[in-house]
Structure 1
Amino acid sequence: MSSLAIQKRQHQTKPNSNQNPVYRILFLISLCHLFNDSIQAVVVAMFPILELEMNLTYTQIGFIGFSLNMVSSVMQPVVGLVSDKKPMPYILPLGLTLSFIGLIGLAFIPTYIGIIVSVTLLGLGSAVFHPEGSRVAYMAAGNKRGLAQSIYQVGGNTGQALAPLITAFILVPLGQKGASIFALVALAAVLCLIFVSRWYANHLKLVQKKNIKKKATDGQTKIMKSVIWALITILILIFARTWYLSAISHYYTFYSIEVYGFTIEKSQIFLFTFLAMGAVGTFFGGPLADRFGKKTVISTSLIATIPLAIILPHTNPIWAFILLTLIGFIMMTSFSVTVVYAQELVPGKIGMMSGLTVGLAFGLGAIGSVALGNFADLVGIEMMMMTISFLPILGMLALLLPKNV
């Protein structure tokens, strides 16, 4: 990327140095992100419950998760692209209303087709929420975009980390109907998002008054060849990170039971620690990027994980716990930073870039879950974990990213 192009892009994306983040909005949208992703976690947590109560096969269970994630991943860039052209502040509470309806269906519909329809509604709700939630974080960021995106994303990662606890304390004792409790969570999110949407709408009016030409300028953003290559690199990095995370999140429980002889409860503790430390890493990634640069955080996060991931399948349980803690924290410091990096590569397409990066993670997670499961069936769970441990090596490609965007 030429120095002139970099200077132009920095001018386009650099916020007012005197503008402070709107923390009340950032914390509120993060809370709603926690609500939304904990609702998504309910579906995964319900797998053993649905298998037992509805006598489903593993293939049927896998298709439930596939339906949820693929609908979300495909629709997120679409929602982002449409809202880039015409912002829709009040689509946020509408999205969580779809999730509310989906949860009611998930709790009370006794048929497999009904469950598929319900999780599809949940996927649509998530697809609406994520790009617009990321846009709100971007608008409320002020001069701390990395921190703002981290505050927003840590809510989602915390919600995902709750899945093992949801399984143990809610769904096991209550069964399928336990999902109805999270309908109340969806309602709470809808109420919070009505407030956020009002701020969003008012903020748009202020921006239009201050700079009438801004919308036209953003809508005509041209994507240069060097930017396209940078985006391709980012997408490859997301693939490597997401498939590794999918392997740990979906299959490390089975690995620890088979290799270490763990009980289900003990394996859930290991998984929860990994996911919880990932949420902590997500929070710290943004401030580190604001201080040291986005490329530095992305490359360090992924490259530093390489030796830890390779060692993990060859250790005893104590060291495995330590390594999972470190991997979860270090790898996820790049999560929110890659979103901001993509947004600043193409500053006029905030929603589409958010939908592309986060939505791709959902889609790749769905595909990875199926592909890794099939691979484990072929070669065994232990060999699958050993093979997937080399995937973070693709993180070396982060060194090729342009430094200044």
Structure 2
Amino acid sequence: MNTAKIQYSKIGIISIAHMLNDLYSNYLPQMLPFLVVLYQGFTATRAAIVVSAFSITSSFTQPLFGYFMDRQGKRWLAYIGTLWMATMLSLTGLVQNYFLLVVLAALAGLGTAVFHPQASAMVNRLSMDRKAVILSVFVAFGNFGFALGPLLLVPLFQTFGLSATVVTIIPGIIVALLLFLFSPQDQTSANVPPTLGVVFKTLRASAKELTAIVGVIAVRSLAYTGLLTILPLYFKYKSLSNIQASHLVTIMLAAGAIGGVIGGFISDYFGRKQLIIGSLILSTPLFFAFLLTNGILSTVFLALAGAALLSSFSVTVVAAQEAIPDNKALAAGITMGFAGGLGSLAVVIIGRIGDVFGLPAAVAVLFGLPIIAGFLGFFMKNRQPARLQRQTG
């Protein structure tokens, strides 16, 4: 297939949109230290509920949107979803009621639930025969967006207060406009889209493999979402300023974005399963090394741990798409949505551990989770990378 036909400019627009989308996805955790001041008795459990409300709606509805997009491919869902999320989140700093805050968080999650399956399907279609590598870059843009969240939002809230959330709708409007103008047109195909019965038959045939992938992602997501929720509170407990804490979280996430690209390349050479198992098992000792050291060395270990934790992010998406190749948007919805939602749902338990046993105990539990995810990876099917298939074919 001719790689010259890859539409890099449109992939770039979608990737930039993904970066902003995931910056918004890391929006609520950056508000938590400020919400402690705003709401009396704002516990770690309450903080976890706010973050989980967003994560649950953004995650569990993604497979449904993914199935719909495999059949319809409506590009407008990508820019409407982005604008919807930006609008809901821009209102969170204006409400003074905890229940309304949770409702806004849940509504905002629907925006990213719409965006991710549609955007990943667009990238898959535009990437021609470079799908794995370009998807890893697309995912890396999202991870960089996550990393920018603390760097941009914490100083904004620190300087102007939570009422400044209202101005954060502006980037969402700009990116929605870019997607409206430059995203690819709706896909037209002569092929009849799979019926729901066919989809269920495909899922049953791949159930064992998908269950292993979902298990890996769920535990990894619990660690990831838990760290985004608990680390800002833990750093505040350790008497770090909000700015210092945001820098540490940014370093971890930026390293994770780089690790995601590297992981995509490594998995093409050595296999998805090998990369997933090795990187996740490695990240746990790196996280504990961060706790046991100080200064620059401690920061280096945190960066390496973040890179190891997220190096399998795009790889698990590709692994699911290889398991059900005729339902790529659905596969993206299952991996980037449903499986992640299972992990996010359990973040409330981590918050409760923090309230009962202390934040250091909650952090220690989170640091131990990646090694469990790595061992779950042993139950995945060991598919030979396409590069090796061509060499041995």
Q: Same fold (TM over 0.5)?
A: yes
Partner residue in 1 for 2:120: 134
Question: Where do residues 346-385 of structure 1 align in structure 2 (5 Å cutoff)?
Answer: 346-360=324-338, 362-385=340-363
Distance, in Å, in 2 between the alignment partners of 1:91 and 1:154 is 22
Mapped contact 1:256–1:267 kept (Cα < 8 A): yes
Residue number in structure 1 paired with 2:388: none
Question: For the Cα contact (< 8 Å) 2:353–2:361, is it kept in 1?
Answer: no
1:102 to 88, 91, 107: 88
Which SS does the other structure have where 2:202 is aligned?
coil
Higher mean alpha-carbon deviation, 235-244 vs 249-258, is at 249-258
- Kept in 1, the 8 Å contact 2:277–2:375? The answer is yes
Counterpart of 2:277, as a letter, is: S
Tell me which residue corresponds to 2:202: 223
Aligned residue number for residue 37 of structure 1: 22
Q: CA deviation at 1:55?
A: 4.6
Distance 1:391 1:216, change over 3 A: closer
Specify the SS of the correspondent of 2:325.
coil
The reply on whether 1:267 has 2:252 as its aligned counterpart is no
**Which of 22, 26, 32 lines up with 1:47 in the alignment?**
32
RMSD: 2.7
Aligned length: 381
Asked if the contact 2:321/2:331 (under 8 Å) is kept, the reply is: yes
Query: Normalization by structure 2: what TM-score?
Result: 0.86
Q: 1:243 aligns with which of 214, 222, 236?
A: 222
Counterpart contact for 1:220–1:348, Cα < 8 Å = no
Q: 1-side partners of 2:125 and 2:47: how far apart?
A: 39
Query: How is 1:174-185 mapped onto 2 (pairs within 5 angstroms)?
Result: 174-185=160-171
Deviation at 1:346, TM superposition (A): 0.5
Superposition deviation, residue 246 in structure 1: 3.0
**SS of the residue aligned with 1:390?**
helix
Percent identical among aligned pairs is 26
Query: How do 1:101-180 residues align onto structure 2 when only pairs under 5 Å count?
Result: 101-180=87-166
**Secondary structure at the counterpart of residue 106 of structure 1:** coil
Deviation of residue 214 (structure 1)? 6.0
Return the offset for 1:183. 0.6
* CA apart distance, 1:57: 2.8
Structure-to-structure mapping, 1:320-335, within 5 angstroms: 320-335=298-313
In structure 1, runs of 5+ residues without a counterpart are: 1-15
> Quick one: distance in 2 between partners of 1:315 and 1:155?
30
Match of 2:297 in 1: 319
Say if 2:60 is the partner of 1:74. yes
Distance change (3 Å), C-alpha of 1:361 and 1:384: same
Q: Of 70, 73, 80, which aligns to 1:84?
A: 70
Report runs of 4+ in structure 1 exceeding 6 Å deviation: none
SS in 1 for 2:332: helix
Q: Distance in 2 between matches of 1:289 and 1:213?
A: 31
2:390 — aligned with what? none
Output the CA distance in 2 between the equivalents of 1:304 and 1:164.
Answer: 25
How far apart in 1 are the matches of 2:140 and 2:181?
Answer: 20
**Contact 1:147–1:286, Cα closer than 8 Å, also in 2:** yes
AA at the equivalent of 1:265: I
Structure 2 Cα separation of the partners of residues 78 and 380 of structure 1: 38
Which of residues 5, 11, 18 in structure 2 aligns to 1:26? 11
| TM-score, normalization by structure 1 | 0.84
102-111 vs 228-237, which moves further: 102-111
Pair 81,216 (structure 1): closer, same or farther in 2 beyond 3 Å: closer
Q: Which amino acid aligns with 1:38?
A: L
**2:283 corresponds to:** 305
Q: Is the 8 A contact 1:85 1:219 kept in 2?
A: no
Contact 2:256–2:307 at 8 Å: present in 1 too? yes
Q: 1:178 to 1:361 in 2, by over 3 A?
A: farther
Partner Cα distance (2:315, 2:209) in 1: 14
Q: Could you say if the C-alpha distance between residues 381 and 113 of structure 1 is closer, same or farther in structure 2, counting changes exceeding 3 Å?
A: closer
Partner of 2:211: 232
Change (3 A) 1:382 1:330: same
